[in-house]
Amino acid sequence: MIGKREIDNFSWGLIAVIFLLGIVSTSTIYSALAGDPSGAGAGFALKQAIWYCAGFVAMLFISLFNYRILEKWGYAVFMACLLMLVAVLLFGKLVAGSRRWLDLGVFALQPSEFAKIGAIIVLAKYYSISMTVQGYNMRDLFAPVLLMLCPFVLILVQPDLGTALLIGFISISITLFVKVEKKTLIISVLCGIVVVISAWFFLLKEYQKQRIMTFLNPEHDPLGSGYHVIQSKIAIGSGMLFGKGYLKGTQSHLSFLPEQHTDFIFSVFTEEWGFVGAVTLLVLYMILIAIGLNIANNSRDHFGTVLCIGVLSMIFWQVFINVGMIMGLLPVVGVPLPLISYGGSSVLTTLIGCGIILNVGMRRFSNS
Amino acid sequence: MVNLLRGPDSDWFKNRINRAMLVVVLGFLILMSRLFYLQIAEGDNFRKLSENNCIRKRTVTSPRGIVYDRNGIQLVDNRPSFDLQIIPQDARPVDSTIQKLSDYLGIPVEEFRAPLEKSKGSPSYKPVVLKKDIGWDLMSAVEVKGFDLPGIQVAVKQRRFYMEESVASHLLGYIGEVSQAELDNESLSEYKSGDSIGKAGIEKSFEKILRGKRGEELVEVNAAGMVVKVINSREAGPGDNVYLAIDVNLQKRAEALLAGKAASLVAMDISTGQILVMASSPSYDQNLFIGGISGPEWKNLVTNPLRPLENKVIQAEYPPASTYKIITAMAGLEEGVVDRNTSFFCGGQLKHGDRYFRCWKKGGHGQVDVIDAMAESCDVYFYHVGQRLGVDRIAWYAKAAGLGQLTGIDLDHEEKGLIPSSIWKRQKKKVPWHSGETLSISIGQGYDLTTPIQMLGVIAAVGNGGVRLRPHLLKMVKAPDGEVVYESKPEIIGHLPVSQANLQIIKDGLFEVVNTKRGTASIARLPDATMYGKTGTAQVIGRKGDGPERFADDQKPHAWFVAFAEKEGKPGIALSVMVEHGEHGSSGAAPIARDIIRLYFDGEGEDSPNTNDKSVDGNIESPELLIF
C-alpha to C-alpha distances, A70 to A74, A76, A124, A310, B334, nearest whole angstrom: 5, 9, 10, 14, 80
Asked if B43 lies within 8 A of A177 by C-beta distance, the reply is: no
pLDDT (tens digit per residue) in A163-177: 998 999 999 999 999
Burial annotation A25-64 (CB, 10 A radius, 16+ → b, else e) = bbbbbbbbbbbbeeebbeebbebbbebbeebbebbeebbe
Q: Enumerate the residues of chain A whose CB falls inside 8 A of the CB of residue B29.
A: none
Vertex B146 angle, CA B143 and B148, to 5° = 150
Name the least confident of A139-148, A307-316, B127-136, B331-340. Answer: B127-136
pLDDT at B213: 84
Question: Would you say residue B624 has pLDDT above 60?
Answer: no
Best residue in B23, B24, B53, B54 for a mutation probing chain A (most A CBs within 10 Å): B24
- With CA atoms as reference, the chain B residue closest to A37 would be B121
Tell whether A238 is within 8 A of chain B (Cβ): yes
Tell whether B192 is within 8 A of chain A (Cβ): no
Q: What is the mean pLDDT of residues B285-312?
A: 83
Tell which wins on pLDDT, B380 or B154.
B380
- For the residues of B484-517, what is the DSSP string, one character each? EEEE----EEEE-SS-HHHHHHHHHHHHHHHHST
Q: How close, in Å, is residue A149 to chain B by CA atoms?
A: 24
Q: What is the mean pLDDT of residues B477-500?
A: 93
pLDDT (tens digit per residue) in B588-623: 888 999 999 999 998 765 444 444 433 333 345 555
Q: What are phi and psi of A64, to 5 degrees?
A: -70, -45
Q: How close, in Å, is residue B27 to chain A by CA atoms?
A: 7
User: Is-cis flag, bond preceding B305, omega within 30?
Assistant: no
Tell whether A279 is within 8 A of chain B (Cβ): yes
pLDDT at B543: 47
pLDDT at A235: 87
Using pLDDT thresholds of 50, 70 and 90, give the confidence band for residue A101.
confident
C-alpha to C-alpha distances, B34 to A328, B491, B596, nearest whole angstrom: 9, 63, 76
Q: What is the mean pLDDT of chain A?
A: 86
Tell whether A132 is within 8 A of chain B (Cβ): yes
Asked if A38 lies within 8 A of B125 by C-beta distance, the reply is: no
Question: Would you say residue A256 has pLDDT above 80?
Answer: no
Asked if B124 lies within 8 A of A255 by C-beta distance, the reply is: yes
End-to-end CA distance of chain B: 106
Tell whether A227 is within 8 A of chain B (Cβ): yes
pLDDT at A368: 46
Q: What is the mean pLDDT of residues A100-124?
A: 87
Best residue in A173, A176, A238 for a mutation probing chain B (most B CBs within 10 Å): A238
Query: How is residue B237 annotated by DSSP?
Result: B
Tell whether B186 is within 8 A of chain A (Cβ): yes
pLDDT at A222: 59
pLDDT at B593: 92
Tell whether B121 is within 8 A of chain A (Cβ): yes
Most confident region among B180-189, B292-301, B401-410 by mean pLDDT: B401-410
Q: How close, in Å, is residue A57 to chain B by CA atoms?
A: 28
Most confident region among B94-108, B361-375, B536-550 by mean pLDDT: B361-375
ipTM of the complex: 0.92
Percent of chain A with pLDDT over 90: 45
Best residue in A223, A315, A363 for a mutation probing chain B (most B CBs within 10 Å): A223
What residue type is B596 in one-letter code?
I
B 36-65 residues with CB < 8 A to A: 36, 38-40, 42-47, 49-51, 53-55, 57
pTM above 0.90, yes or no: no
- With CA atoms as reference, the chain B residue closest to A308 would be B17
pLDDT at B461: 96
Q: How close, in Å, is residue B331 to chain A by CA atoms?
A: 52
pLDDT at A231: 81
End-to-end CA distance of chain A: 9
Tell which wins on pLDDT, B510 or B130.
B510
CA B452 to CA B458: how far, in whole Å?
Answer: 10
pLDDT at B563: 95
Q: What is the mean pLDDT of residues B372-382?
A: 93
- With CA atoms as reference, the chain A residue closest to B11 would be A297
Cβ neighbour number for residue B491 with a 10 Å cutoff = 13
Alpha carbons within 13 angstroms on the beta-carbon side of residue B159 total 20
Beta strands in B414-481 (DSSP E): 467-469, 474-478
A 46-85 residues with CB < 8 A to B: none
- With CA atoms as reference, the chain B residue closest to A266 would be B35
Tell whether B345 is within 8 A of chain A (Cβ): no
Best residue in B11, B17, B59, B233 for a mutation probing chain A (most A CBs within 10 Å): B17
CA A23 to CA A339: how far, in whole Å?
Answer: 10
Q: What is the mean pLDDT of residues A318-342?
A: 90
CA B507 to CA A297: how far, in whole Å?
Answer: 97
Beta strands in chain A (DSSP E): 93-95, 98-103, 108-109
Tell whether B7 is within 8 A of chain A (Cβ): yes
Contact indicator for B600, B245 with CB cutoff of 8 Å: no
pLDDT at B14: 76
Tell whether A30 is within 8 A of chain B (Cβ): no
pLDDT at B135: 81
Q: Which residues contact B148 (CB under 8 A, 6 or more apart)?
A: B100
Q: Which residues contact A243 (CB under 8 A, 6 or more apart)?
A: A270, A271, A272, A273, A274, A275, A276, A277
What residue type is A254 in one-letter code?
L
